[in-house]
Structure 1
Amino acid sequence: MARFLVTGGAGYVGSHVVLALQERGDEVVVLDDLRQGHRAAVPPGVELVVADLADRRRVDEVFAGWSFEGVLHFAALSLVGESMREPMRYLAENLSNTATLADAAVRSGCRRFVLSSTAALFGHPEKMPIDEAARIIPGSAYGESKFMAETALDWADRVHGLRSAALRYFNAAGADPKGRLGEDHTPETHLIPLAIDAALGRRDPLMVFGDDYPTPDGTCIRDYVHVTDLADAHLRVMDRLKDGPSVRYNVGNGLGHSVKQVIESVERIGGRRVPHSIGPRRPGDPAILVASNEKLRRETGWQPYHAGLDEIVRTAWAWREAHPRGYDDRAVPEGAARAA
């Protein structure tokens, strides 16, 4: 049995990774400041340390208290629009916290590090699908901050031998198929939960930003990857780092679905209309963003088991319908995570 530290493990993707690690028999410690994460999202039996990564002393205490085989780093500022209003905050915090964490890992003797990165590195790609050789031209301060974090990890490997994997996500979506975990952001910015909540009457009608793109139905096309498949990718690359070099992977279905197709899927799965209106395009939105996952498949054996759009939407709908208020942090099950 190995022990891993997961920062941001009370958040959406992080909690699904924690569950996957736990299910295969690993021990997990979660470090999360709970600004965006939820205490109730941390599975029972997992230690939760409530702390800010900017607190170097507290981070050092965590590494002094446990010995870790590897670190999986999800804790970050992650809203593209907000990053364009507060670029210095994003650049400073996302880089600094990654560097602090990597430095603590190196000093403790931990030699494996997996970074939650982003497809926002690629801005407006020159070709589709987007592979790892695509030019990195971040279109936002958020994307730039993740590229800076990747660069810091390159130096940690070059100087200290900290092997790292950066997974560049496209659109994480869906929920644990058994209904144990789901997506609960404040504010919510992802299309699928927004469409579901509009259908359930929990929010105003959905706004579709543009229907005049050069796509078959005029709406933007994006690559949606099920969060459980994404969690599996993290475990696979962490295992690969044990005997292999640092790596960078794009993680997506390799399939694209338009905004209109997502709305139709939500209506099909939920049996309700998604009220929506058409607005102007958002500045900077590319018409199509679809990943090539060929390198990840070839080198790790990964594949998206929940690839169908309806299957992704079905798991998301089931969780949101069952949890109208998302995670209720006042009701943590007995035996669940405790704060250290």
Structure 2
Amino acid sequence: MINGNRAVLVTGGAGYIGSHAALALRDAGVRVVVLDDLSTGTEAAVPSGVTLIRGSTADTKLIVTLVRLYDIDSVMHFAGSLVVPESVVHPVAYWRNNVANTMNLAEACVLAGVEQLVFSSTAAVYGLSDAAQVDEDTVPAPINPYGSSKLAAERLLADVSAAHGIRVAVLRYFNVAGADPDGRAGQRTVGATHLIKVACEVATGQRAGMSVFGCDYDTIDGTCVRDFIHVSDLAEAHVLALRYLRAGGASTTLNCGYGRGQSVRAVIEAVERLSGTTVELTTMPRRAGDPPALVAQADRIRSVLGWEPRHTGLDEILGSSLAWERRMMQERTFETARSIQATSAA
């Protein structure tokens, strides 16, 4: 258990990563309050025993009220927009949600006396890099509005930390995938664009096929290369970041990845092997804002937090994703049958 009985506010805790973090915090004995407007998250994703408040990070008064009502000393901020191609088309919406709403949240934290904040950031802040791995000292140079807006939010929080003493842990995620190994949580996003979720949906018959965007990159097989991290390992990193900050740790920025890359094509082939199915592919042109390769140098998070990831194998990540998608199919089948039964009874 993390020392103390003060609560943590998890914004976006009804979403994919936020719900896994809320689960990990609950498992660690932390009182959790989730704030989510349910625009992309779902109530079903919030772990049992965790309080859910429907609301927005734009609502400063609400956040101040929640901090005081639930005796909150720390915030984990997951609420944000995160689809790279969408950010290229709708940059204003991304800056509003990722920057303006983070500013409102930060103001509420200052007003209410929040002491610690863990911020959900992204490797997209790095942009293009010639390095085999990028570390936290790599100069950020985002190439899409998603990365730009997250970097702006990082800098805002750094200024708030310097002025008001709130200690901030910025966690820069690489490519998050997988589901809780015990099947308690997973990605429920409808119409998700994440490679592994999409490939697993195709493999389980929920989609007819999928597109691969760009097969002419200067990589091992022409497709993009990414550093995939299991969502449960990432959730554990958040628990450790909270423990670190509550123990008086200084503000820090940490990469969250395994330090090895997998190509899009290699991931799809592994999904086919594990599922015993063929994933129907359509080759499409490159998408705007996609770097060819992005792999973490992740020594610092191990050193600072003592983080030891436990689910690093690609097959384990994919296996948990496939198991989750099969469960989602069963749930939908059950709901459809119940709806038909109710209609017939009426």
The TM-score with structure 2 as length reference comes to: 0.91
More deviation in 69-78 or 82-91?
Answer: 82-91
Q: Which stretches of structure 1, 4 residues or more, deviate above 6 A after TM superposition?
A: 325-328
SS at match of 1:48: strand
| Matching residue within 180, 185, 197 for 1:181 | 185
Give 1:325 deviation, angstroms.
Answer: 7.6
Instruction: State the partner residue of 1:226.
Output: 230
Instruction: State the partner residue of 2:325.
Output: 320
Cα deviation 1:131-184 (Å, max 9, x = unaligned): 001111111111111111111111111110010011110111000000011112
Instruction: State the partner residue of 1:41.
Output: 45
The whole-number CA distance in structure 1 between the counterparts of 2:191 and 2:124 is 19
| Matching residue within 257, 274, 284 for 1:279 | 284
Instruction: State the partner residue of 1:334.
Output: none
Give 1:232 deviation, angstroms.
Answer: 0.7
Instruction: State the partner residue of 1:333.
Output: none
Does the CA contact (< 8 Å) of 1:11 and 1:41 recur in 2?
yes
The whole-number CA distance in structure 2 between the counterparts of 1:32 and 1:270 is 34
The whole-number CA distance in structure 2 between the counterparts of 1:238 and 1:104 is 19
The whole-number CA distance in structure 2 between the counterparts of 1:103 and 1:327 is 41
| Matching residue within 117, 130, 152 for 2:156 | 152
Instruction: State the partner residue of 1:267.
Output: 272
Q: Which amino acid aligns with 1:311?
A: E
| Matching residue within 131, 137, 150 for 2:135 | 131
The whole-number CA distance in structure 1 between the counterparts of 2:206 and 2:186 is 17
| Matching residue within 233, 237, 257 for 1:252 | 257
The whole-number CA distance in structure 2 between the counterparts of 1:62 and 1:249 is 28
Give 1:212 deviation, angstroms.
Answer: 2.4
Does the CA contact (< 8 Å) of 1:184 and 1:327 recur in 2?
no
SS at match of 2:329: coil
The whole-number CA distance in structure 2 between the counterparts of 1:219 and 1:43 is 36
Cα deviation 1:283-340 (Å, max 9, x = unaligned): 4432211111111111111122111100000000001111128789x9xxxxxxxxxx
Change (3 A) 1:70 1:126: same
SS at match of 2:104: helix
| Matching residue within 198, 201, 206 for 2:205 | 201
Does the CA contact (< 8 Å) of 2:6 and 2:71 recur in 1?
no
The whole-number CA distance in structure 2 between the counterparts of 1:271 and 1:262 is 14
The whole-number CA distance in structure 2 between the counterparts of 1:283 and 1:318 is 32
Q: Which amino acid aligns with 1:286?
A: P
The whole-number CA distance in structure 1 between the counterparts of 2:31 and 2:59 is 24
1:15-54 alignment, distance < 5 Å: 15-54=19-58
Give 1:282 deviation, angstroms.
Answer: 2.4
The whole-number CA distance in structure 1 between the counterparts of 2:6 and 2:56 is 24
Does the CA contact (< 8 Å) of 1:38 and 1:327 recur in 2?
no
Q: Which amino acid aligns with 2:223?
A: T
Q: Give the structure, 1 or 2, with the largest relative contact order (CA under 8 Å, sep 6 or more).
A: 1
Instruction: State the partner residue of 1:83.
Output: 87
Change (3 A) 1:34 1:73: same
Instruction: State the partner residue of 1:336.
Output: none
Q: Which amino acid aligns with 1:43?
A: P
More deviation in 104-113 or 56-65?
Answer: 56-65
Instruction: State the partner residue of 1:299.
Output: 304
Give 1:279 deviation, angstroms.
Answer: 2.4
Give 1:64 deviation, angstroms.
Answer: 2.7
Does the CA contact (< 8 Å) of 1:118 and 1:146 recur in 2?
yes
Give 1:217 deviation, angstroms.
Answer: 2.0
Larger fraction in helix: 2
SS at match of 2:117: strand
Does the CA contact (< 8 Å) of 2:40 and 2:189 recur in 1?
yes
Cα deviation 1:66-111 (Å, max 9, x = unaligned): 2112100000122221211221221123212112212212222221
The whole-number CA distance in structure 2 between the counterparts of 1:135 and 1:38 is 36
Q: Unpaired runs of 5+ in structure 1?
A: 331-340
Cα deviation 1:182-239 (Å, max 9, x = unaligned): 1122331100111111122221311112222222222211110000000011111121
The whole-number CA distance in structure 1 between the counterparts of 2:149 and 2:223 is 28
Does the CA contact (< 8 Å) of 1:225 and 1:304 recur in 2?
no
SS at match of 2:168: strand
How many matched pairs?
330
Q: Which amino acid aligns with 1:308?
A: G
Q: Unpaired runs of 5+ in structure 2?
A: 336-346
RMSD: 1.8
The TM-score with structure 1 as length reference comes to: 0.93
SS at match of 2:29: coil
